[in-house]
Amino acid sequence: MDRISTLPDEIIACVLSCLTTKEAVATSILSRRWRHLYWLTDKVELHGPKVKKRSCDSLVDPVNRVIMFRGGAPIKKFILDASDAKLASIASHVDVWIRAAMFRGLQELELFSGWPGALALPLSLWKHEQLTKLTLSLSERVRKPQQIKYVESARLPRLRSLKFKGMALTAEFINQIFTSSPFLEDVTLDNCYWTGGVRHLCSKSLRRLCLFNHEDKHEVNTIIDAPSLIYFNYSGELRVDYTIENLNSLSKADIILDCDYFNSQAVGKFLAGIDMAKDVSLFGFRLEWLKNEDVNDPFDELSIFGNLRKLELGYMLQVEWDMLLDLLYSRPLLEALVFEEIDCESILPEEELDRFPPNLKVKPWETSTRIHTRTL
């Protein structure tokens, strides 16, 4: 007898939980003892095939077998990747599967859909108090946002991770989730279609926030208040107003602006809100946007990011070297400067190296499209 088969069921369950459900089920042919051991795992992870014909049995039948016919075995984690399944008929089964998983103690739900139209979710999901992680993601090949059903008073008191991609949402709904989730730590809102009033992304526990808005005409004004936030990532056009407050713990910020549209006043207000960041990446910017228009002292005009230790600049609309030098000399804590994808006509002139602050040791090297300068 092989050594693995002699292990206790609990140990084998831990091993099987490292596999996808399809791989775990495949072990049932090894022997009688292994026939139902995969039911001991508390994770169900299924990846649907590409569905080109009208029948969706190739996805529905396996899910039914591992969820509906597992008796009272718990399901703490349910991952369904149907992003390649183009049939909307699959959506009618999603509600039943999620209800069954919730009945068995669901804590983490990750659903990747590939069909247009509404996403059938049980309304009780938004009051499932055991839920700690929720991911709802729509395939990028589906152009229209996906509608989801939700209740007016969502309550997810144990939720720690929330990720929405391609969903049609209201500001009021996301506000309810933030209000009812005191342990929320990680939030990603990726190209969602927004309606309603003002988004209040306010949380004392939030540590990571990613906002991707490549179609900002569907954005809404936003207030961010997160004193524990460590990482902030924004990509979009800043067509709407952002009020950012109390990011006193912010360590790293990655900001990408769409150069087709920008409002310098909105950009200045946005950057002032992430002023405490120590590691900053700015793509699609002008250096002049780092100015603080409220400061009268011309020697302290570039007053944003006073704690800066690393600065990365990329896809710059233009590079004003005198302004860059002013920035470097006014940041005594700055240790590293990186240029990415700078226009070749704006490559750092060799003679400018002598003007760099002595405490900022740099080593430039050039390729056809980029130049990097880093500390030695």
What pLDDT, on a 0 to 100 scale, did the predictor assign at position 119?
80
Mean pLDDT of 183-211: 95
- Residue 21 to residue 44: CA distance in whole angstroms: 6
Secondary structure (3-state) at 137: strand
- Residue 353 to residue 345: CA distance in whole angstroms: 17
288 CB contacts (<8 Å, ≥6 apart)? Answer: 264, 320, 323
What are the φ and ψ backbone dihedral angles of 217, each rounded to 5 degrees? -65, -15
Q: Determine how β-strand 279-283 pairs with β-strand 310-314.
A: parallel
More confident residue, 302 or 17: 17
pLDDT by residue (tens digit) across 247-294?
999 999 999 887 666 667 778 788 889 989 999 988 877 666 665 554
Range with lowest mean pLDDT among 2-16, 23-37, 137-151: 23-37
- Residue 332 to residue 283: CA distance in whole angstroms: 23
Distances (CA, A) of 211 to 47, 142, 205, 265: 27, 20, 17, 20
The pLDDT-based confidence of 308 (bands split at 50, 70, 90) is confident
Sign of CA dihedral 174, 179, 182, 185: positive
What pLDDT, on a 0 to 100 scale, did the predictor assign at position 341?
58
Q: Give, for 272, the enclosing helix (H) or strand (E).
A: helix 264-273
pLDDT by residue (tens digit) across 122-157?
899 999 999 999 999 988 777 778 888 777 788 999
pLDDT by residue (tens digit) across 44-77?
877 765 545 444 555 676 677 777 666 677 888 8
The pLDDT-based confidence of 204 (bands split at 50, 70, 90) is very high
pLDDT above 90 coverage of the chain, percent: 30
